[in-house]
Amino acid sequence: MPRFFVDPKEIHPSFMVLTGENAAHARVLRLKDGDEVTVCDGEGTDYLCTVSDVQKDQISLVVHSSDPSHAEASVKVRIYMALAKGDKFEHVIQKATELGAYEIICFPSARCVSRPDDKSLGKKLDRWQKIAASAAEQSRRGLIPQVRSVSSYAAALRDAATADLAVCFYENEDKLTFRAAIEEKPFQSVSILTGPEGGFELSEIREAQEAGLKICTLGSRILRCETAPLCALSAVMYAVGEF
Amino acid sequence: MPRFFVDPKEIHPSFMVLTGENAAHARVLRLKDGDEVTVCDGEGTDYLCTVSDVQKDQISLVVHSSDPSHAEASVKVRIYMALAKGDKFEHVIQKATELGAYEIICFPSARCVSRPDDKSLGKKLDRWQKIAASAAEQSRRGLIPQVRSVSSYAAALRDAATADLAVCFYENEDKLTFRAAIEEKPFQSVSILTGPEGGFELSEIREAQEAGLKICTLGSRILRCETAPLCALSAVMYAVGEF
């Protein structure tokens, strides 16, 4: 069944109208009266609808029922990734959305080479949010992860530490496995914090520890900065029984 | 400590010589007499060496000891990925190598759009093997995963079925989780088989089942063809206690 993401402000309990890009997409799919479609508010609710009228620039829908999306994970996983060079964050946004992340947050750290100014960061955030929306649609999620940035490493730690389980991955840690941290006690929310290309500095690891994050290893192989968060996210989803 | 991959044929028990690209790399690192380096044979053995002589095009080393690499996983995971468009297989080779895959194999399936002929496949295999070597070096592995292709879907199934645990992922499967398959009994080797952009046909799933593969879900979100094998590989490594 075709799926459309509609702004929550445009959601009505009994009828809806697809416009703009959604209407264009509906035309490509050659939707006609009586066809069934799913409308997602991008906040976790799916609406089962039937097409009632097709015009050039708008498709009218009758809403039959609404349900919490079945494609959302049982835990909220937030990905905190240090600013990286090139399109690595874009890559992580796309993949982490597919894999079920709840939010994706970037932050500066000592060894970050990429340091966008506020203006360019604002533009990037718009583009990043679109990447998340597109990946959410493709992977049939009911929620579009929010992509945001925090302005300092300390702020990222404070933000991350609010989760039931908050983990910072460090390539020089060889004792505490992610599994040991996960199996310690049940959790509803997880923060996964990973470093830039050059890794974290030891002082940053101490700061993370003081902020309440567990310092864990992702194994004996050195992962690239864009691989580590996706590996950890896959492991969390596996551990909580998502697949 | 700097690491160099050397062809197993060039490995000697008491001395070695770095030439070609390795010598160029050593020059960049400004190695000098007395410096310690690790030489890997790419087959799982690391050699601890000291530089004994530096010339323009060759660096002589004295071998002190040899050890099995500490960066190799306790299970052998083979990734079987249906031929995909663009650079998706390259992406999977790089990431799967970081994540510890033992071999990475491509195969044709019914809905594959990409169908390289033998000549172009030969060239691609050379390039793919280099991507694996480079990722193995960067992630500090002791083994370079072999990248190979099999000529038919049936051959891929026969090959995959030889593992202790052989799994085919299917987006329409909603009962058997990967976790249930993993926890059924201990294993030393795993085969992970995933489909092309358009997924597997139902007849192919039946064929996989007849060949002895378990048909599993990777969860309720639809993963891209390049995301699925890496998600499954991360989960296996987590499940067997690698991190």
**A35 & A124 share domain:** no
3 state DSSP class of B217? strand
Tokens of B99: 């994540």
**CB spacing of A179 vs B227 below 8 angstroms:** no
Contact in structure between A18 and A12 (CB atoms under 8 Å): no
Q: Which domain-ending residue is among A17, A44, A68?
A: A68
Task: Write out pLDDT tens, residues B65-82.
Answer: 999 998 899 999 999 999
Would the pLDDT of B115 be above 90?
no
State whether B60 and B162 are in the same domain: no
Judge whether B239 is closer than 8 Å to chain A, CB to CB: yes
Question: Last residue of a domain, which of B51, B68, B85?
Answer: B68
- Say if residue B236 is exposed, middle or buried (CB neighbours under 10 Å; 0-12, 13-18, 19+): buried
For residue B98, the distance in angstroms to the closest alpha carbon of chain A comes to 6
With beta carbons under 8 A apart, name residues in chain A contacting B71. Answer: 220-221
Q: What is the CATH number of the domain that holds B46?
A: 2.40.240.20
Residue finishing a domain among A68, A90, A110:
A68
How do residues A21-45 score in pLDDT, each as one tens digit?
999 999 999 999 999 999 999 999 9
Residue B108 maps to which CATH number? 3.40.1280.10
pTM over 0.80: yes
What residues in B contact A231, CB-CB < 8 Å? 99, 230, 234, 237
State yes or no: pLDDT of B158 exceeds 90: yes
- What lies within 8 Å, CB to CB, of A146 at 6+ separation is A103, A104, A129, A132
Please check whether residues A51 and A144 belong to one and the same domain: no
**ipTM score assigned to the predicted complex:** 0.92
Residue B198 sits in the same domain as residue B132:
yes
CA quadruple A156, A157, A162, A168: dihedral sign: positive
- Please check whether residues B182 and B201 belong to one and the same domain: yes
Q: Rounded distance, CA B162 to CA A206, Å? A: 46
Q: Is some CB atom of chain B closer than 8 A to the CB atom of A238?
A: yes
Q: How many domains does chain B have?
A: 2
Does B125 lie in the same domain as B104?
A: yes
Q: Are residues A24 and A92 in the same domain?
A: no
Tell me the residue length of chain A.
243
Q: What are the structure tokens assigned to A161, written together?
A: 């530490």
B179–A222 C-beta distance less than 8 A: no
What pLDDT, on the 0 to 100 scale, is given for residue A113? 87
| Rounded Cα–Cα distance for residues B79 and A142 (Å) | 30
Please give the average per-residue pLDDT across B101-124, as a whole number. 92
* Host domain of residue A169: 76-239
With beta carbons less than 8 A apart as the criterion, state whether B131 and B93 touch.
yes
